[in-house]
Chain A
């Protein structure tokens, strides 16, 4: 049907056309994301590294940090403009990828506030097993009772009188009056992506490790620690 020369022209141009179009699409579909960073003194925290905390006049070394965030939503001028596709996110200090939360492709609206929950809502807690970040294989579900462990913060400090100077905070609980689910709002520079820092040093500076170093079940102690959490989330400098 087509003349030979037309076919030849098409054969030469088509790949270029495809490449050009896909390049354009790529430019439009840059991966926007929320990136969380566990920090000490505004620098990215390294596990197993010793840090001096002036507030407690002693050093700490973190061995494990894992925590659940859920229902990440994006706001501009107090209006909802988008949300993360992943409803439940397990941030793990051992795994940098876990701290990068992708936002829907093609989402072009900018936002100036990120809202989310620390912890997992009670409906999800009781409806049965789920996969992905909620899979109990991650070791973040209490096996001897019901419910997810919203945060595990484990480490060592000479201040701590426990065996091997180890502090162990397993913060959880989804039922009143000991629910540790907390809403957190972080104002961020207006953009299509955001970087949020989680100041672990700020948290541990407010806990007296000489007397409070083990929380292994839901209860008032877990709630006290959970109440400290919203303030330690801030836009990364």
Chain B
């Protein structure tokens, strides 16, 4: 009887440990809503995550082996592309939008500024095959991976199958990206009663709640939806956002509401990177909004902020920076895999 209990207990413990281990692979902050991504369909494991990390940083995924995902999604910039309004890819070709920051992806319904991609697994297909970004077909990617001893080993460790497939490569990339969770900013610590805002930050928080929170909903600081925030059309780009995907006139000039987290790391701002500084963003909202048929309901009334209030609001926004996330070595270039020490 005792032996049976012991065996059952051990099995139960193993099951529980495995379940817990799965869940901690992708940190799920208690104050965040449930994930959108179905983790059961692509359960995270350390080996798959490491494979995904290698792929993310490996330029082998581009035609001339010069561009990796990290070329536009830089870890030190919360996986955004700074210093450029429009991201550039292979052969220095300039694209049409600014690469968005990558974090908290498990809670996103859609991807890209116009919501063209509806599942994280499939997102990588867009930059890999785009002729101005990495310019390589998936078949060519898989052929290269299968010709590499390193990747044969990594795929075997991750999937018990050394043969790389599009499915496995994309799942591994998704798993690595799912681990990019940013939830330890000062704001989060205040949320969890571990710290308190300064007076200025508190004032800024109140201004955020009054003026910004309907679109930039906490704790993700985005509703995940789309809005026309009154940006005048850049006629050198003629980018009408979500309209391109849906073809519906009510989607004209609607773009995905980005998160307000990690703003210090992710300039320039907006889908076409037109604002370098947060002050320019605030000035847009107070005096730069262009009215149009699809202008967001939240912006129909003007936003009024005095100079001091702008400072307060900015100080609150800075509490959304997550330094620990940006400097987390687990997210960075996997030196041991991609540049092993030569003996």
* Residues of chain A whose beta carbon lies under 8 Å from any beta carbon of chain B: 126-132, 134-139, 141, 143-146, 219
Whether, in the assembled complex, B60 has its beta carbon less than 8 Å from a beta carbon of chain A, the answer is: no
How many angstroms from the CA of A130 to the CA of B139 in the assembled complex? 15
Residues of B within 8 A of A134 (CB): 167
Residues of A within 8 A of B125 (CB): 136, 141, 143
Partner of B117 from the list A131, A132, A146 (CB cut-off 8 Å) is A146
A-B contacts, 15 of them at CB < 8 A, read A128-B41, A128-B42, A128-B119, A128-B122, A129-B121, A129-B174, A135-B166, A135-B167, A136-B125, A137-B142, A143-B126, A143-B130, A144-B126, A146-B116, A219-B247
Residues of A within 8 A of B129 (CB): 143-144
Smallest CB-CB separation from B244: which chain A residue?
A145
Residues of A within 8 A of B216 (CB): none
Smallest CB-CB separation from A136: which chain B residue?
B166
Interface of A is mostly: loop
How many angstroms from the CA of A134 to the CA of B41 in the assembled complex? 15
Partner of B38 from the list A128, A135, A137 (CB cut-off 8 Å) is A128
Partner of A146 from the list B122, B170, B174, B247 (CB cut-off 8 Å) is B122
Partner of A144 from the list B41, B116, B141 (CB cut-off 8 Å) is B116
Q: A143-B125, A143-B126 are in contact. Are A126 and B119 (CB under 8 A)?
A: yes
Q: A127-B38, A146-B116 are in contact. Are A139 and B137 (CB under 8 A)?
A: yes
Smallest CB-CB separation from B168: which chain A residue?
A131
Query: In B128-183, which residues have CB < 8 Å from any A CB?
Result: 128-130, 137-139, 141-142, 165-168, 170-171, 174
Interface of B is mostly: helix
Q: A137-B138, A137-B142 are in contact. Are A129 and B171 (CB under 8 A)?
A: yes
Smallest CB-CB separation from A128: which chain B residue?
B121
How many angstroms from the CA of A127 to the CA of B247 in the assembled complex? 23
- Chain B nearest CB: distance from A83 CB in Å? 23
How many angstroms from the CA of A83 to the CA of B42 in the assembled complex? 27
Query: In B94-144, which residues have CB < 8 Å from any A CB?
Result: 116-122, 125-126, 128-130, 137-139, 141-142
Whether, in the assembled complex, B245 has its beta carbon less than 8 Å from a beta carbon of chain A, the answer is: yes
- Chain B nearest CB: distance from A16 CB in Å? 40
Q: Is A131 in contact with B119, judged by CB distance below 8 angstroms? A: no
Smallest CB-CB separation from B118: which chain A residue?
A146
Q: Is A137 in contact with B119, judged by CB distance below 8 angstroms? A: no
Residues of A within 8 A of B38 (CB): 127-128
- Chain A nearest CB: distance from B66 CB in Å? 20
Q: Is A137 in contact with B165, judged by CB distance below 8 angstroms? A: yes
Q: Is B122 in contact with A131, judged by CB distance below 8 angstroms? A: no
How many angstroms from the CA of A143 to the CA of B132 in the assembled complex? 13
- Chain A nearest CB: distance from B114 CB in Å? 9
Residues of B within 8 A of A143 (CB): 125-126, 128-130
- Chain B nearest CB: distance from A95 CB in Å? 14
Q: A128-B119, A143-B129, A146-B116 are in contact. Are A135 and B42 (CB under 8 A)?
A: no
How many angstroms from the CA of A89 to the CA of B41 in the assembled complex? 21
- Chain A nearest CB: distance from B220 CB in Å? 21
Q: Is A145 in contact with B138, judged by CB distance below 8 angstroms? A: no
Contact with A along B166-204 (1 / 0, CB 8 A): 111011001000000000000000000000000000000
How many angstroms from the CA of A135 to the CA of B128 in the assembled complex? 15
How many angstroms from the CA of A128 to the CA of B165 in the assembled complex? 15
Partner of A145 from the list B117, B128, B139, B170 (CB cut-off 8 Å) is B117
Residues of A within 8 A of B141 (CB): 137
Residues of B within 8 A of A144 (CB): 116, 126, 129-130
Partner of B119 from the list A127, A132, A139 (CB cut-off 8 Å) is A127
Residues of B within 8 A of A128 (CB): 38, 41-42, 119-122, 174
- Chain A nearest CB: distance from B144 CB in Å? 12
How many angstroms from the CA of A11 to the CA of B149 in the assembled complex? 48
Q: Is B138 in contact with A129, judged by CB distance below 8 angstroms? A: no
Interface pairs A-B: 5 shortest CB-CB: A137-B166, A131-B167, A129-B121, A143-B125, A128-B121
Q: Is A126 in contact with B165, judged by CB distance below 8 angstroms? A: no
